Chains A and B, each alone.
Chain A
């Protein structure tokens, strides 16, 4: 997760200490220490009330038998708290279909974990939003993937757009911090500005833009994924819009998720827009951020207790929390894949090996590299940097520059 607004506009936000190890000035910073433990995405259920074509979890209308129970979920949260996990993202399926969600959120908060939510927003009634806020929920990210027609087609249910926007309005009304989650594809890229305009008008100020992940039902959707030229253009649009908003006094927070070529692009953008010193500052912050977080700063536990290197990497599990504590699974570097993923910069091959940005990107998504047949350490096919940016030998950003 890369904060465009922080890196290009010095916008303070709650999560920035986790991301960049900087003093954000926020009233309630996430942690006093640099992140050494992963943010854990807990896919609490495989059940969902929508039928999104790009669902990375491959969610269905019925729950899976033997999903973690309430009691098991609480023990999992205790386990994560004992391991000093800073944040748990309650996800799904659709987590709001679980009647015990508020109870689990409260348990996480009481255990000292910051609970946040990823939802399609359609079940966020005022009562539910108030209950969740009272239980300690710190943030709700609501997925919308286009204007009404496009979003409803994507999500497989008529009225999903209206219900999600109402869910966002409900969160704003009850004072629960909320933001947009928007997965950008070739099919909805033209709606992006319209959605941001609409949601800005109702008071939303946080916008997270996701790159498509080749997982779950998204595994076969590479035909609707953006090509490198289109991807670069939309990331530039997001950067331009963020900078323009801040210049106009609208301090929106924008984030890019799922493609660490964006990190390198932001350095290049800062150099062109603000000069070499700005580029070096952006680079230094991104280097502290640590690049693609798979297997390091992000972990996922699915509804049956399987532990994955990220929430998108569903086809491989490191272990299961019913058998072994999360910390024991996560610390087990006798697993050669986990160890190698954590030592990525020295293992990367192809055009990534000599790339000057490999320490801020770490090769991008291993899942996409595997899906493209490039191997575990091969290039992410979504990298859109050009040859001159990857290989520049002029005075580029330095690890020591600040």
Chain B
């Protein structure tokens, strides 16, 4: 059985020292998956979209944007003072790593 991964739960609210932070996802071709490409800082969704297009219009067809504060992150990286989340206790949960 593969050992379960322990992660920290990063739930630090809005991430902008000023304004609001917005996570960006772009796709350059219809067959590609959306790719996270960082975040922009803007007062509202329209401002975020304007910034996103200035930065990625040369590359991206599709742009998705969501408030950074709406994302809860579970990470194995250990920098944050954040609680670890116990892995599920259900040992029967299948994992792709076990299939390879």
Contacts and interface: CB of A to CB of B under 8 A. Distances in A.
Contacts of B51: 315-316
A302 interface: yes
B75 A316 contact: no
B82 interface: yes
A61 interface: no
A322 B38 contact: no
Interface residues of B, number: 32
Interface string B36-71: 011111100000000100111011100000000000
B17 A316 contact: no
Nearest to B35: A334
A316 B65 CA distance: 13
Contacts of B21: 306, 317
B41 A315 contact: yes
Contacts of A76: 79
Given A76-B79, A315-B41, A336-B37, A376 B15 contact: no
A60 B17 CA distance: 9
Contacts, number: 97
Contact of B41 (A317, A319, A320): A317
Nearest to B52: A316
B72 to A, nearest CB: 11
A322 B17 contact: no
A132 to B, nearest CB: 24
Given A316-B38, A324-B75, A304 B12 contact: yes
Contact of A320 (B15, B35, B40, B81): B15
A114 interface: no
7 contacts: A43-B17, A46-B18, A322-B79, A322-B82, A324-B77, A335-B38, A375-B58
